[in-house]
Structure 1
Amino acid sequence: MLLFALFMSARMGIFQEQLYGLYGKHPKEALFYNHALPLPAFLLLAGDIYRHCVLFNNSAPMALPLVGVMVPKMWLYLAGNILTQYVCIRSVFILTTECSSLTVTLVVTLRKFVSLIFSILYFKNPFTVYHWMGTSLVFIGTLIFTEIIPLGKKQKVQ
C-alpha cells in the first residue's frame, strides 16, 4: 500500500506542477480544493464517524492547559493530530510551488521514513530485515538524488 501511495503521490506532484505551469502558483487554493472536494464522500462513512464521536466523548477527561476546562482526551489528541497534519500538508503545498515534483516526492518520502522509524522506536517494535532493506533503499535513493553518489557519467561542459 505504501508503494502504491508513493506512486500516486508522485503522479499528483507532476499533475500539480503542470497545473501551476498553466494557471500560476496558488498553494492555498490547491490545498482548499484538495480537501473540500472529497468532503461529500465522508457521508458514506457517517455511521462510523458517529460511532467514533461517541467513543471519543466517552474517553477519559483531560484538563485544557491555561483554561482549566475538562475535555475528553481523544478530542484533544484529534485536535493535535489535525493541527500537525495541517502544518505538514500546507508546507508540502508551498514546497510544490518552489521545487520540482521529484524533490517534493523525495522530501515527503523522507518524512514518512522518519515517522516510521519514530513509530518503531516509540512503540518498541522489532526492527526487522525488511526495515533494514527499506532504510537502505531510502538512503541510497536520497544519496543518488542529491548526487552524493553519482549515477552514470557526467558530461563535461565546454
Structure 2
Amino acid sequence: RQFPGCGNIVTFSQFLFIAVEGFIFEANFGRKRPAIPIRNYFIMVAMFFTVSVVNNYALNLNIAMPLHMIFRSGSLIASMALGIIILKKRYSVSKYTSIALVSLGIFTCTFMSAKQVASESSLNQEDGPQAFLWWLLGIAALTFALLMSARMGIFQETLYQKFGKHSKEALFYNHALPLPGFLLLAPNIYQHAVLFNQSELFQVPVLGLTLPIMWFYLLMNVITQYVCIRGVFILTTECTSLTVTLVVTLRKFVSLIFSILYFQNPFTGWHWLGTAFVFVGTLMYTEVWNSLGPLLARRRRPKEE
C-alpha cells in the first residue's frame, strides 16, 4: 500500500527464489533433462509471464485490491468458456448456474467499484474523467489476463495428458524461463529497490537483524508465496480437481477478507453480496454439495436408529 507500483519487484523476487530453488533441487544444477519438451515450457511461460505482469500492472490503473482479487476469482468463467470453444466440452445445468452466479457477483462488485471511482473523482473535476478512463483500462487488463490464464490452463491440461504430470518440473521452468523478461522491467524494479532501501528500519524478531521494513515484507511475501504455489502444484498431482479448486477458492476468499480488514479498503454491502455470489457459485462449480450430501446422510443415520 505504501508503494502501489511495486508489483514488478515482488513478482521478480518470487520468480527468482523459486527458480533458484528449482535449479538446485529439481534440475540438479541443469543436469536433469525435462520430461516435457522445453519448447512447450516456453509457450507456457510466455502466457504465465504475461498474466503475472498484466495482473500486477492493473493495480496501477485505479483498481482496488479487493476488486482485483474478486475479478481474478472469475477464472472458472473463462475456463469454462474457453473449454467449450477450444475443447468442445459440454457441462451440466448446475455448472452453467454456477457460472451465472459468479458472473453476477463480479458484475456487482465491478459496478459498485465504478460508482466509487466516479464519486471519488467528482471531488476533482480535472482528474475525474481521467481516473475513470484509467479504471476502464484496468478492467480491460484484468479481462485479458483472465482469458490468457484460462488458455494457459487448457494448454497445461493437454500437456499433462500427453506427457504425464510433472509438478515440480513445471514449477521450476514456469519461473526460471521468464527471468530474462524482467530486464524489460529493470528500471521499475531498480526504482522500487531504492524506495525499499529508504523505508523505515525494522528489527527482525529472534534474529535481531535490522533491515528496511519493505525488504522484510518482501521476504515474507516470497516465502509465503512459495509455500502456497508449491502446495497448489503438489495438489494438482496428489488430489482431485475438486479438492484443488476448493482449496484455491477458500484461499482467495480468506485473502480477500484479510485485504479488506488490513488495508481498510471501502467495501459496501453490495460488495459483500457480490463476494457471496462468487463464493457460492464457485462452490457449485466444484460440486461440493454433491460430496457433502452423502457424508451428512451417513452421519444422520446413526442418530435416527
TM-score (norm 2): 0.44
Aligned mates of 1:76, 1:67 — CA distance in 2:
12
Aligned to 2:289: 148
Quote how far apart the aligned CAs of 1:6 are.
Answer: 4.6
Identity %: 62
Gaps of at least 5 residues in structure 2 are 1-70, 75-142, 292-305
Counterpart of 2:172, as a letter, is F
What does 1:1-158 correspond to in 2, within 5 Å? Answer: 2=72, 3=74, 4=143, 5-99=145-239, 104-128=244-268, 129-148=270-289
Quote how far apart the aligned CAs of 1:100 are.
Answer: 5.2
Give the stretch that moved more between structures: 115-124 or 50-59: 115-124
Residues 144 and 68 (structure 1), Cα distance of their counterparts in 2 relative to 1, 3 Å cut: closer
- Whether the 8 Å contact between 1:64 and 1:70 is mirrored in structure 2 is yes
Instruction: Look up the SS of the partner of 2:289 in the other structure.
Output: coil
Aligned mates of 1:102, 1:18 — CA distance in 2:
18
- Whether the 8 Å contact between 2:203 and 2:210 is mirrored in structure 1 is yes
Instruction: Look up the SS of the partner of 1:62 in the other structure.
Output: strand
- The count of corresponding residues between Structure 1 and Structure 2 is 150
Residues 64 and 149 (structure 1), Cα distance of their counterparts in 2 relative to 1, 3 Å cut: same
Counterpart of 2:271, as a letter, is Y
Residues 131 and 118 (structure 1), Cα distance of their counterparts in 2 relative to 1, 3 Å cut: same
Which of the pair has the greater relative contact order for Cα pairs under 8 Å at 6+ separation?
A: 2
Aligned mates of 2:252, 2:203 — CA distance in 1:
31
Higher helix content, 1 or 2:
2
- Whether the 8 Å contact between 1:20 and 1:97 is mirrored in structure 2 is no
Counterpart of 2:164, as a letter, is G
Counterpart of 1:39, as a letter, is L
Aligned mates of 1:8, 1:149 — CA distance in 2:
30
- Whether the 8 Å contact between 2:242 and 2:288 is mirrored in structure 1 is no
Give the stretch that moved more between structures: 138-147 or 34-43: 138-147
Aligned to 2:28: none
Quote how far apart the aligned CAs of 1:52 are.
Answer: 0.9
Q: Provide runs of 4+ in structure 1 moved above 6 Å.
A: none
Quote how far apart the aligned CAs of 1:111 are.
Answer: 1.8
- Whether the 8 Å contact between 2:242 and 2:286 is mirrored in structure 1 is no
Counterpart of 2:169, as a letter, is E
Instruction: Look up the SS of the partner of 2:279 in the other structure.
Output: helix
